[in-house]
């Protein structure tokens, strides 16, 4: 019987696919019969046509030019591996962690506020540089990286200029008085960086080019958000410089109580749109799959996009908490300063907290007042 089993066992390999036999070959190549060895040699030739493909991260390179410094895809027998590489995401996360850790150490030893925005917001610019400076990055990744760098550099410069002028931010008073308070502040800052940047950092992991239409729509939304945030900051700075004891209700501040928050939400939504279709894995549905298996495969293929959606959700919760006073003391400070003013009371009742009327917002944005 043992002799019979030994004779028949190799025949069972004839029903193996090349991929299955490939695994057997790694452990016991002599057990594969000659017909299957022929199949495997053919599979090797077929795979050799693809295994050395070097594909630039984010898809086809700008201008259609080739470059020898490209991202190598790991291959499996008979099929291409998933077109995602987590290395850029990990690199960005480490930059955020390092910048906020440095901020924590500065705060613990100096109790100063001058470095807060330089490191907290500046970390976004630093984290975008590796992909922005990578010559193999696709157009989508370059545009996304450039968008983050421009926004972060602009906001960091403004906030640093402001803190150098006013010397202290009342909203931060008390945060750095204890080790626990300081640690909590920089931990939240780190979470803000990691979650807020997800549309971009996850987008850099994809080798899928994405649609030019999606990129254009996302860039347009981003531009509107950047313009809104920048104009809101400028209008309030100008107003408070001339009227330090009054609340700002002019320009964009007349259509929403927090146009800078709204602009920030809008620009990051634009970055999410830029990278959205590149975060969906291509699906291969077999006819033998059931409805539930197909549905799960569809959900699983969009998991990176679903994770990227954590960015606007996190920022909405953070900005709403800041606006309604549940996260910071900004509302309490504003009420203490302007609460007795009937105009302020009416402003709080009639003007939307975050999201303005779209027509009123566009009119204020275009007119600049």
Instruction: For residue 14, name the pLDDT band (cuts at 50, 70, 90).
Output: very low
Question: Predicted confidence band at 19 (pLDDT cuts at 50, 70, 90)?
Answer: very low
pTM, two decimal places: 0.75
3-class secondary-structure state, position 84 = strand
Give the pLDDT confidence of 263-288 residue by residue, as tens digits: 999 999 999 999 999 998 877 666 56
Give the model confidence (pLDDT) of 173-226 as tens digits.
667 778 888 899 999 999 999 999 999 999 999 988 889 999 999 999 999 999
Mean pLDDT of all residues in 154-158: 94
**Average pLDDT estimate for 43-64:** 46
Q: How confident is the model at residue 332 (pLDDT cuts 50, 70, 90)?
A: confident
- Separation CA 31–CA 262 (nearest Å): 66
The predicted structure's pLDDT at residue 49: 40
- Of 59 and 250, more confident: 250
As a whole-number percent, the residues of the chain with pLDDT over 90 amount to 48
pLDDT at 55 > cutoff 50 = no
Strand ranges, E, within the chain: 54-55, 71-72, 75-76, 79-80
In this prediction, residue 83 carries a pLDDT of 75
State what percent of residues in the chain have pLDDT above 70.
Answer: 75
**Between 110 and 357, whose confidence is greater?**
357
Give the phi and the psi of residue 76 in degrees, each rounded to 5. Answer: -120, 155
pLDDT tens across 96-111, in order?
A: 999 999 999 998 888 7
Q: Indicate if the pLDDT at residue 10 is higher than 70.
A: no
Radius of gyration from C-alpha coordinates of the chain: 27
Place of tokens 């493909």: 53
- How many alpha carbons lie under 13 Å from residue 108 in its C-beta half-sphere? 11
- In which residue are the tokens 């693809």 written? 50
∠ at Cα 99 (70, 114), nearest 5°?
140
Q: How far apart are CA 206 and CA 58, in angstroms?
A: 5
Quote the tokens at residue 114.
Answer: 């001058």
* pLDDT of 288: 63
pLDDT category, 340, cuts 50, 70, 90?
confident
The mean pLDDT of the chain is 80
d(CA 76, CA 73): 10
């Amino acid at each position: 019987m043992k002799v019979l089993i030994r004779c028949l066992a190799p025949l069972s390999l004839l029903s193996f696919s090349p991929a299955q036999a490939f695994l057997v070959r790694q452990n016991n190549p002599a057990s594969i019969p000659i017909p299957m060895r022929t199949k495997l040699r053919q599979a090797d030739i077929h795979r050799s046509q693809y295994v050395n493909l070097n594909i630039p991260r984010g898809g086809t390179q700008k201008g259609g030019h080739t470059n020898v410094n490209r991202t190598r895809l790991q291959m499996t027998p008979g099929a291409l591996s998933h077109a995602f590489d987590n290395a850029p995401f990990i690199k960005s996360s480490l930059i955020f962690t390092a910048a906020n850790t440095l901020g924590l150490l500065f705060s613990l030893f100096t109790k100063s506020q001058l470095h807060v925005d330089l490191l907290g917001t500046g970390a976004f610019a630093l984290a975008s540089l590796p992909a922005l400076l990578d010559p193999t990055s696709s157009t989508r990744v370059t545009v996304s990286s450039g968008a983050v760098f421009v926004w972060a550099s602009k906001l960091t410069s403004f906030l640093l200029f402001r803190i150098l002028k006013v010397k202290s931010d009342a909203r931060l008073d008390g945060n750095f008085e204890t080790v626990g308070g300081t640690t909590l502040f920089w931990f939240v800052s780190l979470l803000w960086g990691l979650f807020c940047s997800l549309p971009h950092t996850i987008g850099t992991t994809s080798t899928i080019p994405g649609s030019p239409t999606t990129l254009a729509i996302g860039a347009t939304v981003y531009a509107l958000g950047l313009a809104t945030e920048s104009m809101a900051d400028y209008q309030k700075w100008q107003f408070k410089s001339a009227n330090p004891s009054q609340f700002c209700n002019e320009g964009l501040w007349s259509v929403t109580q927090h146009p800078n928050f709204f602009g920030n939400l809008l620009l990051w939504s634009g970055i999410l749109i830029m990278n959205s279709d590149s975060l969906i894995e291509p699906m291969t549905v077999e006819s033998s799959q059931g409805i539930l298996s197909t549905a799960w495969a569809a959900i699983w293929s969009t998991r990176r996009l679903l994770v990227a959606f954590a960015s606007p959700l996190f920022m909405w919760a953070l900005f709403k908490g800041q606006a309604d006073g549940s996260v910071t003391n900004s509302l309490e400070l504003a009420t203490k300063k302007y609460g007795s003013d009937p105009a302020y009371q009416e402003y709080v009742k009639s003007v939307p907290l975050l999201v303005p009327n779209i027509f009123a917002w566009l009119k204020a944005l275009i007119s600049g007042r």
